[in-house]
Chains A and B, each alone.
Chain A
Amino acid sequence: MRNPITRVKKIAALIMCLLLVAAAAGCNGDGTTPPVEGGTPAQEAPAGGTVTLSGVEFSTDPVTLTAYIDWPHSGEGYGWGQDMVSQWITETVGVTIDATHATTATGEELNLMLASGEKLPDLIVTNGFGTIVNNLIRQGYVLPLDEVAKEYFPAFLDLLPGGLYEVFQEDDGHLYRTADWFADSERILELVNSREDKAISGGDQTLCLNKKYYEQMGSPEINTLDDLRQYLLDCREKFPEVTSPFMPMRLMWDQATDTINFIYRCYGGQSWLWDDGSNTLQLCLRDPRYKEAMRFLNTLYQDGSLTDTTLGMSTEDQWTALETANLFAYVGQDWEWFSKIVGGSELSGPVLPVLAPMAEGVSRDDLKLRYNDIANLGGNTAVFISKDSENVARAIEYLAFEYSDEAALNNRFGLEGVAFEYVEDGGVRWMQSLLDYQNEFGWSEMSKKYGPNNQTHSWFTTGYSMAMESPTGIYPVKLYNANLVAPYLKNERLFDLSKTIKDDDVRMKYDQFMQLTGEAQIAIITADDDAEFEAEFANFVSQAEALDIKSLEDYYTANYIKWQGRGFTAE
């Protein structure tokens, strides 16, 4: 008789082997994304034809370009040909994008793809700044776009927004990447002039007041920071049930709506990089006005108008606080509130944007507010043509197409007559049917159907398309806000210097410094008394010095001078 235990052992061994084989088989996956079902197949463009967009002729021959999009989860529920804009692209220039999207974190899979020597797709869409960009360029994984353009599609260089080449040109003289949210300053100026007193952006930050409490307080004038402080104290006394009296929307230098930077500007400061007048850039922590801005916020904290709870709020918590109007004032954009309220308008809305309250002795003539969403965020996303591309000619043509005004507007707003329409001032605005759809099903579903800002193709929103948006298009109150801040708006490019750091050690220093800043600012603002404030600020400066920020400043200055040498200014 056979031993039953032996039989069990043999069965167990067999199972283990099967598991091993199964595991090995799993390693052989090709990693392709399953095709997304649904959607209407786009009508193919006629072969051998051409189409003219922005004065440039494009081929209409059908072609499929592969792309890797480095934004995790950006592909979930999206697919080429499902939305109207991607259908329009295929119908117009014959291009279909076969995209693979990141699934974990930006950079992770792409780095592993490079390390493993995997064949790269035609196009790579990733973070516009950081080590990954440097690695792609320096290690020869991507092609110089200017060279490729000269060989296959010279019009690409004509369609590039002015200044982009000068800002993102590498030391070898070539341009390897596109940049999103980039504006041609002269073209923006033309638009500004054509609209007389209307600003081109409705998204500029300012001080926003809760209209309900403001009216109950007798609508006092808030012209200075002291006025603001007193207003908050009075409000708290009258309405003690409000738990988030003053809410800063962001507290990080490189964020567009950083409250500290806004208050710093109320003291006459500007960007977090500071030209001391001798063409040398310094970080604003060396500027006494920056310290004063921090001190003001600390005063609000010591008053109890700025609380630990408010400072620690997640974005979701901030939204809830806005929705429930559980605050007196915040620094940010008025749409941040309006966008939470369906059908909100200037008259019925709860928010009242007012102009920046100034520090004592500082005039509003010294106020410099920046264009948040037009010109100074350029380069967050970069698109590259990989060295492995088998469709280089069509790839560069497609990038040129994306920079055409037609494609830029469609990528940003959807199709004319369906998703957006032109208005009297020459700008564009989304149509009511689209807004109704968005209100009913949410932004994401709207994007999947109509195509605006759809990650399958809207890779580089241009500054031009942003500027074309009529401030009155979506939220009526935006016009009010825009006109309010328009005289003080300033086009700044100093932020872009961080995006052109090519030295990995400097890049690391920058990342570490930003991390340090994020933590130190909170510690300084939440100091319990003046002595602690001074100690925390001194600690911040000393830790920053220990990081050798001087080398960071030197690097910025060198790049700044390099820009100037290329005929480009920072403003």
Chain B
Amino acid sequence: MKKEKKANKFNLKENLKYAVVRQWDLQLMVLPAIIVLIIFAYGPMPGIIIAFKDYTFNKGIFGSDWVGLKHFRSILTDIFVHRSLFNSVGLSLFRMALLFPAPIILALLFNEVRSSKLRRFFQTVSYYPYFVSWAVVCAVVPIWTSTQTGWVNAFLQTIGLIKEPISFLSEANMFWGITLMLELWKGIGFSAIIYIAAISGIDQEQYEAAIIDGASRFQRIRLITIPSIAGTISLLFILQISGIIGGNFDVSYMLGNPSNASRSMILQSYTYDVGLLDGRFSYAAAVGLLTSITGMILLLGGNFIVKRLTKHSGLF
């Protein structure tokens, strides 16, 4: 028994030897990703210190004056941070409520299409918008929604839904709806792929047995398909939670304007404006740091809750 335990004991030297010598080709494959991670994720981390300094270009990161929590205190009174936070969280909650289930439903629907040709066709059509860049989408939207020449207003007027053209991008209250619609259109097909993959991994014998037992199609979805992909769903849900105070920078930045700023400004776009455009790196770093810490807390909290509420294990 003791010998067995000893044999199972982790042997770093052996494992390293096995990993480096025997699997050198695999290590080589992962090397670029590790290097990228070190350079772009871990390398800049010490730079976080500028959130506690009054960073100036000429003094550099470590030579700039230490100001402690000055920038964090400013954040507390900055009405634009408050607004950005509200918009980021608000949009994310809607995203979780409306956009998160959409690809799951689509994947379930695809799974029920009997004709494989038809299924592949719809699948291709649904994920094709994903490959249209946000820059292109955001360039086209103002043209489509123009009050003078846009087809959207012309169409809505023709079918009698509106009497006067609506300036969609100037109406702050419409911005969230526009963002969510665009995200849904662009992302639903691509996001469904991961669920389709999970569904394809389900043992077909379960369905056969259910059919013999007289289960309806809806019952098979409810009792076999959904429980079988619940692990994948919970995993993606946890990741979604961590992004609650993130947001879609592309849409906010490119479709945002002074008229809709009260709803389009999110933390990322505000950080970009303040940091990169205004050159207030310390303040932007403080906002970014707060965002990251909150994101991490949400990730851990989400993971904890998922682990407690479901039998499926969380991320860690």
Contact = CB atoms under 8 A, between A and B. Distances in A.
Contacts of A141: 57-58
Nearest to B281: A115
A316 interface: yes
Contacts of B165: 243, 309
Given A106-B277, A107-B279, A320-B148, A115 B57 contact: yes
A20 B259 contact: no
B170 interface: yes
Contacts of B57: 114-115, 117, 135, 139, 141
Contact of A311 (B28, B29, B32, B170): B170
B149 A320 contact: yes
A309 B167 contact: yes
Contacts of B281: 111, 115
Interface residues of B, number: 37
A13 B28 contact: yes
Contact of A317 (B146, B164, B278, B280): B146
Interface in A283-317: 307-309, 311-314, 316-317
A308 B167 contact: yes
A108 B146 contact: no
A107 B25 contact: no
A6 B28 CA distance: 13
B29 A135 contact: no
Contact of B56 (A23, A135, A308, A316): A135
Contact of A17 (B26, B31, B170, B279): B31
Nearest to B276: A108
Interface residues of A, number: 55
A312 B58 contact: no
Interface string B154-165: 000000000011
B266 to A, nearest CB: 15
B167 A313 contact: yes
A226 B94 CA distance: 47
Interface in A134-158: 135, 138-141
Contacts of B299: none
Contacts of A312: 147, 166-167, 169-171, 259
Nearest to A19: B32
A105 interface: yes
A20 B37 CA distance: 12
Nearest to A12: B29
B80 interface: yes
Contact of B279 (A16, A131, A511): A131
Given A17-B28, A19-B32, 20 more contacts: A9-B29, A13-B26, A105-B277, A111-B281, A112-B276, A114-B279, A117-B57, A130-B278, A135-B57, A139-B56, A139-B58, A141-B57, A243-B165, A312-B171, A312-B259, A317-B147, A324-B148, A515-B258, A519-B261, A519-B262
Interface of A: 6, 9-10, 12-14, 16-17, 19-20, 23, 105-108, 111-112, 114-115, 117, 130-132, 135, 138-141, 243, 252, 307-309, 311-314, 316-317, 320-321, 324, 326, 504, 508, 511-512, 515-516, 518-519, 522, 543, 546-547
